[in-house]
Amino acid sequence: MSDPKGNDGDGITALSYILSGVLLYGGLGWLADRWLGTGFLLPAGLILGLALGVYLIIRRFGARP
């Protein structure tokens, strides 16, 4: 059954924001760790990507008139 408001893909959109943020910034953190020889940038990138994904979800779906 279709939602009359047109919100069929909101869950998939929210999940894609989370996954893409974690994968992108986690990957950048992993690359930076390999290049610099450190061990803290991967977890920092994962946390940053998760936080930015949540921010995008709140920004897009949070305030509706």
* Digit-coded pLDDT (tens) for 12-59: 999 999 999 999 999 999 999 999 999 999 999 999 999 999 999 999
- 28 closest CA partner among 13, 53, 48: 48
28-63 as b/e, with b when 16 or more CB fall inside 10 Å? bbeebbeeeeeeebbebbbebbbebbeebbeeeeee
- pLDDT one-digit tens code per residue, 17-28: 999 999 999 999
